[in-house]
Amino acid sequence: MGATLRQGGRAAMDFMVEITTASRPLGARWAGELARSGLDAHSLPDDIDAREGAVKQALAGSEAFAVHNLVMEFASVEHGRVARDGFNEMADVLLPRFAELEARGPATLSCDPDFVVPDYYRGVWFHRTTGGWDGHPEMGFVHSELIHKTYVARNFGGDIFAQRRAVLGMLPRRDYARILEMGTSSGHFTVALQETFPTARITGVELSVPMLKEALRTANANGWAWDLYQRAAEATGFADASFDLVASYIILHEMPARAIRAAFAEAYRVLEPGGQMLMSDVTPYRMLDKMGEWRADVQAKKGGEPYWREAATLDWSQAARDAGFVDVAEGGLDGALYPWVITATRPKADQP
């Protein structure tokens, strides 16, 4: 559900986009300076944590590096606050619309008052936004409409919504009827699932209620009967063999390796024999050279992603096979490195 911000919020969001866009040539400039310093993918230290020091030393006199880092640090810390302030300016208009959309429509949202979020999630300020996914009662709208559709979409290379639809083309079937999405958040991937499989019954699990409320409103506004639950991907509570597809988009990098493994095992359990799992996320580090790996790792750290390295170094295919899956395949969309997709099938008969 879209909204036009008031002048103050709009100007502040535009400034966040423009300052990061305008600083891009500085990134290209320090990359050139780094190349000329002789430090490259081969000469970087093998120890990933030692690479930052080596790069800083090589670029000690670089104004481009200093200013670019400053801008990115500012944007990283401030984008969430700016988006929240933009929402608060509009709250008088938006909240009545929210109440109406939550009350009327075919979608359902089930929250258990005794639900306890996993320990690795509690108190983590993902993306360095105050309080993380639960940092504002309307974080779903703040993140979906203001951060994702305005700030991320305009800063990120490629069409982030077309990518969500396109990864579904990597599935072997077009006739899924009972789909479970893990990490529904505000519903961006759920929309892609709905549009790709319009007759399927879609169920979503997600830890954050503010995010789920935005998904609920999106579903109701479009007449989609999604069943949304505040539950963890690794403990969905659904009966064995309840679904023919379990899918997720960019949640794995927010989970430690043990939770990813548990989510794969849960996907296996709730899939009917012959059903598929599709998980799409960030580029595995093994696909990058040492420089690419350092860049991804440092951006993740500065971007408030505490589990990115763990997720990007886990062997997802092995984890899927460990969970019992067969026909496991991994690769980037259209031969690119992002988004990275794993597909796997629960065998028709369980393996001995």
Residues that bind ligand SAM (CB under 6 A): 118, 121, 133, 164, 182-183, 185, 188-189, 205-208, 211, 232-234, 249-251, 254-255, 259
Give 118 or 347: the residue with its C-beta nearer to ligand SAM: 118
Question: What's the token pair of residue 238?
Answer: 């659904």
**Beta bridge partner(s), residue 202:** 179
Give 58 or 142: the residue with its C-beta nearer to ligand SAM: 142
Compute the least distance from the CB of residue 312 to ligand SAM, in Å.
Answer: 14
Give 107 or 250: the residue with its C-beta nearer to ligand SAM: 250
Beta strands in the chain (DSSP E): 108-110, 178-182, 201-206, 227-230, 243-249, 271-281, 326-332, 340-345
SS3 58: helix
Compute the least distance from the CB of residue 4 to ligand SAM, in Å.
Answer: 22
- How far is the C-alpha of 45 from the C-alpha of 31, rounded, in Å? 17
Alpha-carbon Rg for the chain, nearest whole angstrom, is 21
Give 189 or 338: the residue with its C-beta nearer to ligand SAM: 189
H helical segments located in 188-330? 188-196, 209-222, 257-270, 290-302, 308-313, 316-323
Question: What's the token pair of residue 175?
Answer: 């006739």
Give the full edge-to-edge strand order of the sheet including 108-110: 108-110, 227-230, 201-206, 178-182, 243-249, 271-281, 340-345, 326-332
Compute the least distance from the CB of residue 153 to ligand SAM, in Å.
Answer: 11
CB 209 within 8 A of CB 231: no
Compute the least distance from the CB of residue 130 to ligand SAM, in Å.
Answer: 15
> Which residue type does 299 have?
Q
Helices 48-58 and 290-302 pack at an angle, to 10 degrees, of 90
Compute the least distance from the CB of residue 127 to ligand SAM, in Å.
Answer: 8
**Beta bridge partner(s), residue 301:** none
Compute the least distance from the CB of residue 339 to ligand SAM, in Å.
Answer: 10
Give 34 or 270: the residue with its C-beta nearer to ligand SAM: 270
CB 270 within 8 A of CB 324: no
Compute the least distance from the CB of residue 111 to ligand SAM, in Å.
Answer: 13
SS3 230: strand
Give 246 or 251: the residue with its C-beta nearer to ligand SAM: 251
Give 37 or 163: the residue with its C-beta nearer to ligand SAM: 163
Compute the least distance from the CB of residue 91 to ligand SAM, in Å.
Answer: 21
Give 23 or 280: the residue with its C-beta nearer to ligand SAM: 280
Containing 154, the helix (H) or strand (E) segment is helix 153-155
